[in-house]
Amino acid sequence: MTRFVEGNQIKLLCNGTEFFPALKAAIDSAKREIYLETYIFEDDITGKKISDALKRAARRGVTTHLMLDGFGSLSLQRTILDDLLEAGVQVLIYRPERDFFRLHRNRLRRLHRKIALIDTQTAFVGGINIVDDRDMPGQTSPRFDYAVQVQGPLLQDIYASVKRLWGLVSWSQLKLHRHSRLRRIVTRVAGNMSAAFVIRDNIGHRRDIENAYLEAINQAKVEIVLANAYFLPRRNFRRALIRASARGVRVVLLLQGRVEYVLLHYATRALYGVFLDSGIEIYEYHESFLHAKVGTIDGEWSTVGSSNIDPFSLLLAREANVVVRDVGFAVQLRASLEHAMEKGARVMTAEAWKHQPIHNRLLSWLSYAAVRLLMGVAGYGRNRIQG
């Protein structure tokens, strides 16, 4: 069962337009301690603003921690890291990429979560990397994504998670001087919102994010709206959605319409037929690249985070989501998704899908088979993928 904490204030941030100014302002106001974890950190206009803010914080005496994924941030130049280190920023690379051409089980175990914790007073959790969200070929609108700003008692759980991971990676890389003891922090009630911090790792939280979704889906009575960049759920998740639709719940999926990663894009489409035949609505987002990993159910339950609903997020990567039980928050997220579906998406009907060119449908099934093969090569067999 998902463990909810009362007394929080959770603010929804849509796209980098809202997220990056809030993050930069929080870093610039930090007085004691900063933790920032991200999958991608680019040396573009956005990355420079955040790295400069981190350096300013370190120079004024704030203990500043930056953890980057070794694959997602592979393109970040060593000179950028040296500048951060020289300024006093402590930098760790999660699973440094050393053998680019070798596929093995651990290769796909990435740090995919995006978390910032400032002075144990404010945290940011979501799906937005440190990268200019307008810097994509053929794109005028920003990537469609979300994060949340968190204040209140939930910070205790977020603090424990980032502190524990920093210590684990420090120990594994023999940088023990970087690790300080986990302490109990005092967090005041900041609002009246009930929320949970849910992670996925390969130790004690393998299915927590997936189970949080399934709990809410299985209890849904009116409506389920999921927006996900890479949607390739296991069998139990698919069945939960189909059962919800069968009992009269409106089920809506907002999925990637543009082709960003060919294999995952077409593998996702292999599931369209069974969803559409079950009465599930599918919208494909075309205005920009969809990067969101959010959902809202029955106008009360919502989640925002880093976890896709695909084998890579649900079986391999380190992920983090915030789950919120609050009507006002759910209404705001629902309205944002509705606007995206109306203005930037195209509905896929069962009739239109059945009349897809045969080569498109063949490509979808070949891509789906390839993803399953890839997971099998990485050490995750059919039962783990299919559920």
Over residues 209-259, the pLDDT tens digits come to 999 999 999 999 999 999 999 999 999 999 999 999 999 999 999 999 988
Q: Which of 55, 65, 114, 163 is catalytic?
A: 114
User: How far, in Å, CA of 261 to CA of 333, rounded?
Assistant: 26
Strand (E) or helix (H) holding 330: helix 327-344
Q: Which of 65, 163, 265, 291 is catalytic?
A: 291
Judged against a pLDDT cut of 60, whether residue 386 lies above it is answered with no
pLDDT band at residue 376 under the 50/70/90 scheme: low
Told to judge if 135 belongs to the known catalytic residues of this protein, a careful annotator would answer no
Told to judge if 298 belongs to the known catalytic residues of this protein, a careful annotator would answer yes
The predicted model gives 259-284 an average pLDDT of 91
Amino acid in position 241:
L
State the first-to-last Cα distance of the chain, in angstroms, to the nearest integer. Answer: 19
Domains of the chain listed by start with CATH number: 7-192 (3.30.870.10), 195-386 (3.30.870.10)
Residue-wise pLDDT tens digits, 114-170: 999 999 999 999 999 999 987 666 667 889 999 999 999 999 999 999 999 999 999
State residue 189's pLDDT score. Answer: 93
Judged against a pLDDT cut of 80, whether residue 16 lies above it is answered with yes
Judged against a pLDDT cut of 60, whether residue 387 lies above it is answered with no
Residue-wise pLDDT tens digits, 322-335: 999 999 999 999 99
Q: Is the separation of the CB atoms in 63 and 120 below 8 Å?
A: no
Share of the chain above pLDDT 70, in %: 90
| Pairing, β 250-256 against β 146-151 | unpaired
Told to judge if 31 belongs to the known catalytic residues of this protein, a careful annotator would answer no
Does this model's pTM top 0.75? My answer is yes
Q: Which of 43, 52, 83, 298 is catalytic?
A: 298
Q: Which of 55, 65, 112, 265 is catalytic?
A: 112
Q: Is the separation of the CB atoms in 310 and 230 below 8 Å?
A: yes
Q: Which of 55, 65, 163, 293 is catalytic?
A: 293
State residue 260's pLDDT score. Answer: 82
Told to judge if 65 belongs to the known catalytic residues of this protein, a careful annotator would answer no
The predicted model gives 352-370 an average pLDDT of 85
Mean of all residue pLDDT scores within the chain? 90
Told to judge if 163 belongs to the known catalytic residues of this protein, a careful annotator would answer no
Share of the chain above pLDDT 90, in %: 73
Based on the number of CB atoms within 10 Å of its own CB, is 56 exposed (0-12), middle (13-18) or buried (19 or more)? middle
Helices (H) and strands (E) in the chain, counts: 13, 15
Told to judge if 119 belongs to the known catalytic residues of this protein, a careful annotator would answer yes
Q: Which of 119, 175, 179, 286 is catalytic?
A: 119
User: How far, in Å, CA of 242 to CA of 239, rounded?
Assistant: 5
State residue 192's pLDDT score. Answer: 97
